[in-house]
Structure formats: structure tokens, C-alpha cells
Structure 1
Amino acid sequence: MISQEARDLFAANVSAMAAGDTPHLATQVLPEDVERIKDIAYVDDGDTNHLLDIYRPAQAGASGAAKLPVIVDFHGGGLYYGNKENNECRDMLLAREGFAVVNANYRLVPQVSFPDQLNDAMAVLDWIRDRGSAYGLDTGRVCVTGDSAGGALALYLTAANGSAQLAGALGLRPSGLDVKALVVTSGMFRLAGGVHATALGYYMEGYLQTPADHIKIDRYLDLDKLVVDGGVPPTYMITSVEDFIADNTYELARILHARHKDHAMSVWPKGGERVLGHVFNIVQAGDPEATEAHQVIRDIAGYCKHYVCK
């Protein structure tokens, strides 16, 4: 049961986040040398939250003519806000680096809970497995990325996709795709506790809405347990000293190091001409002068290339 107080918090945050995104989305410059295939249903139920886009470099030729390595992206927004259009420019720039980028919507809290969102995310991988080849996707070379809360979704997804044990505990079935790498920007990995525990206490009413939700997820709010039981692929984490949840990245990096998991981390220093804040490589992607954001995009592509080209 979600209290009215929690519903009001979600609604207020959605309004504030939409207002914050409007200026940069209105002025962003989209690359002209990337083709877009918009609004493909990955679940055939008429829900706009079950649509994805595919971006490919135009020089790759007609869709399906050349198989490209894949980056699957899940947008941020606290699990209760956002859509694929928020990440479109950044993902088109990633595609320019030689990838087919799948940019997917998923259902949002409080209409659904976090386990439902994990089902949506796995359904995206299932769609790539079954239909991706027709769109020029090399289903043997897949990476996953996410930012902020989309990073949490991507982390839990890839951990479950790589472990039948964890997938079963979360009520999922692995897609069968071999996800080569995970890249997360400003990951909101902590869904409970930490320095933001008070706010997260309200959000948790939406994240886990039923006893069944808690049974699936509660034990895996412990990120160490998630890493130990899951099959997390090589992971690249990106944050900055101006990122208000940078502590989440530091915590996951500590756990991955302690558990001897392949990982890398970039922490950007304080910006000069512009603030390098939360998910800055996404919100600044549409500004041709945002050199740091564009370098991060190249770094993400480079990390993925290292694993898909082995």
C-alpha cells in the first residue's frame, strides 16, 4: 500500500525533474549521421512504456544489412520518471561510435514496482535475442548501460541474466544472451539506507509494493549479496565529485574489488566551465561544446568495444 504522502512525493519530483530537463532537451543538437528506428514494441500490449528505439550509424547501411555490436540503455529518473527521449542524443552519439544502440522505455513506479521493471528490462533482452538480428543487431555482442536509477535496473538485470539462481529468486528467467559488459553512469545502486535513507524510505513504498516484492528483493538490497549470487559482467562505473550520489558508485566499486570482479571506475573532478554533476554525460550530450560529456561518451564506447571485440 502506497501512502498519499509517498504519491505526492513522486508527483512533485516528476514535475521538478521534467522542468529541469526541458531546457537542455529543447536546445540539444542531434547528430545527423545516425539513423533512428523509433517506437518498436518489445511487448505487444499497446503500452507506450513497452517501446524501444534503435540507433545505428548511417554509414552502416540499411537496417539489417550489417550486424553491429549492441548497447542496451535504460534511462534514469528514480524509477518513477523519464523516458527514452531523455537519453536519445547521448545514445545517438554512442551509435556514431560503431554500435547499434537500443534505447528502451519501461513501466514506472508507482504504477508498477521494481520487480515489474526488472521483468520489462529482461523482456528487452528477450526481444533482442528473438528479433534483433532483423534490425542489424549482433546478438552475440551485447553490452548494457544505465544511468542513475536506470543504472540500478541495469545492475540487477545483468546480475540476474548471468545467474539462474539469482534470476529464479527474483522471479525472472535469463534471456540466454551473453552480456559482455555493464556501464553505469551516476548509478543509484542503493535503493534503501545510506545518506539518503529518509527519502528512500518514502520511495520504497513504490519500489516494493507487496509482500511478494519484498520477498524477491529485500535480501538483494545488500549489494554484496547481489554481486555474490549474481553473474555481474565486467563493469565500468562513471561518476564525478559533483555527483550527489557518488557514494553509491564508491560502494559498488569497493564490493566488486573485494569480490575480485572485473571492473573500472572514472571519477571526474570538479568542472571548470560547467558543473559536471549527476549524469552529466547525458544532460550535456546535446551541447557540442560540452567536451567532458563527449569524452565520457567515447570512454563508454571504448570500454564496450574492449569486451565485444575480444
Structure 2
Amino acid sequence: MISQEARDLFAANVKAMTAGDAPHLAAQTLPDDVDRRKDIAYVDDGDRHHLLDVYTPAKRESGEPLPVVVDFHGGGLYYGAKENNECRDMLLARHGFAVVNANYRLVPDVSFPAQLQDAMAVLEWVRDHGAEYGLNAGRVCVTGDSAGGALALYLAAANSSPRLAGALGVTASGVDVKALVVTSGMFRLRGGVHATALGYYMEGYLQTPADHIRIEPYLDLDRLVVDSDLPPVYMITSVEDFIADNTYELARILHARHRDHAMSVWPKGDERVLGHVFNIVQAGDPDAAEAHRVIGDIADYCRRYV
């Protein structure tokens, strides 16, 4: 049961985040050398949240299927759409990838386990239909930003372990995810310096006793890492990212558990603030050199494993 106070908080945040994103989305310049195939249903139920886009380089040296990057947008799990990430993902496609940019259902209409089911369904779509769009389902990386980074982390963990997938209420897709890239990951879903707000959000994240049984044990990120076989993980944050501590915490766990990982922490920006998910919100500005360097770094990391 979600309290009215929590619902009001979600609604107020959605309004504020929509207003905050509007200026840079209106001003962004989309690349004209990338093909877009928009609003493809990955679940055939007519729900707009079950749509994805596929971006590919307009000019390709060969007709070989492309390595794939699957992306999940941020927004606290209750806000956002694939269009928020469209420009960044099109720029990433320039580097020789097919980028699958997916919507998923949002809190409080659904809870986090249902969002994880949506994310797994996207991998299943890549497995079953990717070849129709020139995708190589044997060369797949997953990425996400902010709360989409948490979704990507839990997806990669569940997908790597049938036992963990069962505990989380999903079935592993069978797609071999080669690498995970997370920008400004909101990995901590409770506690920490944002514990008060997260206490309200948790009413939406886990809405039923069954939700709590599935997810609560794995709010412990160490247990999530130990019980999974995560692919190599690349984490990106900055000293101006208000939840950089989440990335540091996950990096500490991955290091302690001897898991393959890398981390980039950007210093204060030279000409602009390099804040939360800056490589996405600044992607549409051709002069945002640091954001564009991050996009190149993501491409390089994914290329290394696919």
C-alpha cells in the first residue's frame, strides 16, 4: 500500500524533473548520421512503456550484425523515458554499435520486481528479434544511468545466475551479457544520506509482501555480487555527482570480491558543472567536450568485451 504522502512526493518530483530536463532536450542537436527505428514493441500489449528504439550507424563498412548496447534511462525508477537518452545513445551508435534504448514501466504504477521483468524482456527481445534489425545477440553490453543503472545492475546479476533470477522472480534470458556500464548509478535503494527520501520511495519500489521477500535480501549489494556472476563492470561518476558515494560503495564491494571492474571519477568541470549523469544531459551540446569524451570511453569499454 502506497501512502498519499508518497504518491504526492513522486508526482512533485516528476513535475520538477520534467521541467529540469526540458531546456536541454529542446536545445539538443541529434546526429544526422545515425539511423533511428523508433517505438518497437518488445512486449506486445499496447503499453507505451514496452517500446524500444534501435539506433545504428547510417553508413556501415559491412553488412555484419552489430554488437549491441542495451540502455535503461534514469529517473528514480518513477520518471523518464527513452527520449531522455536518445541523443547520447545515438552518439554511442556512431562508434559502431546498435544501441537498444528501452522504456520500462514506472513506479508507482508498478514496483521494482515488475521493472526487472521488463528489463529481462528487453534482453529476450534482443535474443529473439535482434537479427531482424542487424543486431548480434552474442555480443551484448548493458548500460544504465542513475536509477536505470540500478536496474541494469540487478538485470545483469539476475541474467548471470538462474538461481538468483529465480529468487528475484525472473528467468535468465540466455543472452550472454559481456559487460555492464553504469553512469552515476543509484545503487542504494535505501539508507545512506538520502535515507529519509528513500523511505518514501520504498513504498513504491516494493509494494507487496512478495516484493519484499524477493528484493529485500538483495538490497545488500554485497550479497547481490556474491550470489551472481556479474560481467566486467565500468562505473562512471564525478566529484560533482550528488550520489557519487553509491558508485564508491559498489566499487569497494567489487574490489573486495575480486570482480573485474573499472571506475572513472571526473573532477570538477573546466567550463561547466559535471554533475549527475552529465554525459547524458550534455550529450546534445556539441561543445560539451567532457561529456563526449565519456561517450567515447563507454564505447571503448564495451568494444573491449564484444
Q: Please, what TM-score do these two structures have when normalized by structure 2?
A: 0.99
For residues 225 and 163 of structure 2, the distance between their equivalents in structure 1, rounded to whole angstroms, comes to 12
The runs of at least 4 aligned residues of structure 1 exceeding 4 Å deviation read none
For residues 263 and 23 of structure 1, the distance between their equivalents in structure 2, rounded to whole angstroms, comes to 35
Displacement of 1:231 after TM fit? 2.0
Q: C-alpha deviations, 1:123-156, integer Å up to 9, x for none?
A: 0000000000110000100000000000000000
Write the mapping of 1:197-276 to structure 2, written as runs, cut at 5 A: 197-276=195-274
Secondary structure in 1 aligned to 2:131? Answer: helix
Q: Which runs of 5+ in 2 are unaligned?
A: none
Secondary structure in 1 aligned to 2:40? Answer: strand
* Aligned with 1:186 (options 166, 184, 187): 184
For residues 165 and 175 of structure 1, the distance between their equivalents in structure 2, rounded to whole angstroms, comes to 13
Displacement of 1:60 after TM fit? 2.3
Write the mapping of 1:72-151 to structure 2, written as runs, cut at 5 A: 72-151=70-149
Count residues with an aligned counterpart: 306
For residues 194 and 112 of structure 2, the distance between their equivalents in structure 1, rounded to whole angstroms, comes to 18
One-letter amino acid of the structure 2 residue matched with residue 210 of structure 1: T
For residues 5 and 40 of structure 1, the distance between their equivalents in structure 2, rounded to whole angstroms, comes to 35
Displacement of 1:66 after TM fit? 3.0
Displacement of 1:160 after TM fit? 0.3
Displacement of 1:232 after TM fit? 1.2
* Aligned with 2:165 (options 164, 167, 177): 167
Please name the residue that 1:46 is paired with: 46
Please name the residue that 2:290 is paired with: 292
Please name the residue that 2:32 is paired with: 32
For residues 228 and 44 of structure 2, the distance between their equivalents in structure 1, rounded to whole angstroms, comes to 29
For residues 60 and 113 of structure 2, the distance between their equivalents in structure 1, rounded to whole angstroms, comes to 36
Secondary structure in 1 aligned to 2:39? Answer: strand
Displacement of 1:61 after TM fit? 7.8
For residues 61 and 153 of structure 1, the distance between their equivalents in structure 2, rounded to whole angstroms, comes to 34
For residues 229 and 288 of structure 2, the distance between their equivalents in structure 1, rounded to whole angstroms, comes to 35
Q: Please, what TM-score do these two structures have when normalized by structure 1?
A: 0.98
One-letter amino acid of the structure 2 residue matched with residue 212 of structure 1: A
One-letter amino acid of the structure 2 residue matched with residue 20 of structure 1: G
